[in-house]
Amino acid sequence: MLPFGRVAIIGMGLIGSSLARAVRAAMPTVRLTVSDGDALVRERVRALDLADDVTDHAGAAVVDAELVILAVPVGAMAPVAAEIAADLAPGAIVSDVGSVKARVLADLVAALPGVAVIPGHPVAGTEKSGPDAGFASLFADRWCILTPPADADPAQVTQLAAFWSALGARVETMDAAHHDRVLAVTSHLPHLIAYSIVGTASDLEAVTRSEVIKYSAGGFRDFTRIAASDPIMWRDVFLHNREAVLELLGRFTEDLVALQRAIRWGEGETLEALFTRTRAIRRSIIEMGQDDARPDFGRSHEG
């Protein structure tokens, strides 16, 4: 028995289009309607045959959907919710895939009074964007976090969890504010740092940009992958999870300054102690199946 028979996805970027492919693969009988405001994106979605119907207005996509998933940048959630409010079918569940949850929950509840809003966040992605970059297995063995409001119907939360499980994801439920603190650590700060270091490296005088590119295999290239992520999506994440990001950034800077001091004063034991401790975390991530166990992420080493 399928959790939902009719699903609508608004936004056909990397995540929305991966979701469409995953639904097609795991639940081929689901009636899938998708929407995107960009004509070029819709054209690609039709060419790739990712859905039964492709609409230009979000409202048209949701009219008979039992589940509506908003897959747009978090800053676009409120306007898109307003766009679909009048067209939602009675009893429809509205969810999303945004990286920030407290603000999105508040925005959706405000825009959709009386509607069952259950925000979600599949912790998965790549540095690529757009409908061609998506793939069906993106959510396999990744976590999807649901952040239902306190008054959510437990049966509906279970139904949404079953939907994500059917796509191969592992589902966890938590409070939206806690989600935002957790993701500030595991996702938002890493992205901010990566964007920042790539910016710093490209603005130096003593080292040219072509040298930075040429010798990037020393570690820098790992950061450039993250720093190639979608600019609008990430701008919105930082603007909408401001408090948690700023608080964590304070901690990070404090720790970095302590390392800086250890280097200046030649305190080798301090450095070695930290560098030894951090190895254990990597091992745990691999044991938990959250990264590729092969060296160097399994990068191709054939010349």
Looking only at residues 172 through 231 of this chain, which bind a copy of itself when binding is defined by CB under 8 A? Answer: 172, 178, 181-183, 185-204, 206-207, 209, 211-229, 231
Of 100-129, which residues contact a copy of itself (CB under 8 A)?
123-128
> Residue 89 interacts with a copy of itself (CB under 8 A)?
no
Q: From the list 90, 113, 154, 303, which residue makes contact with a copy of itself (rule: CB under 8 A)?
A: 303
d(CA 57, CA 38): 10
82: contact with a copy of itself by CB under 8 A = no
The half-sphere exposure of 99 on its side-chain side, counting CA atoms within 13 A, is 28
**195 and 241 in contact (C-beta within 8 Å)?**
no
- How far apart, in whole angstroms, are the C-alpha atoms of residue 116 and residue 122? 19
Of 109 and 232, CB closest to a copy of itself? 232
The nearest distance, CB 261 to a copy of itself, in angstroms, is 10
Q: Pick the binder of a copy of itself from 33, 35, 55, 99 (CB under 8 A).
A: 99
Question: Under the criterion CB under 8 A, does residue 79 sit at the interface with a copy of itself?
Answer: no
Among 77, 139, 163, 151, smallest CA distance to 115 is for 151
Is residue 86 within 8 Å of residue 59, measured between CB atoms?
yes
Task: Name the minimum Å distance from CB 271 to a copy of itself.
Answer: 4
Pick the closest to residue 89 from 66, 112, 55, 111 (CA basis): 66
Q: Are residues 72 and 97 in contact, defined by beta-carbon separation less than 8 angstroms?
A: no
Q: Show contacts with a copy of itself in window 10-49 (CB under 8 A).
A: none
Asked if 266 interacts with a copy of itself (CB under 8 A), we say yes
User: What are phi and psi for residue 294, nearest 5 degrees?
Assistant: -70, 150
Burial of 77 (0-12, 13-18, 19+ CB in 10 A): buried
> Which 145-164 residues touch a copy of itself, going by CB under 8 A?
145
Q: Which is nearer to a copy of itself, 126 or 156 (CB)?
A: 126
Answer yes or no whether residue 133 interacts with a copy of itself by CB under 8 A. Answer: yes
Q: How far is the CB of 262 from a copy of itself (least distance, A)?
A: 8
Number of residues that bind a copy of itself (CB under 8 A): 115
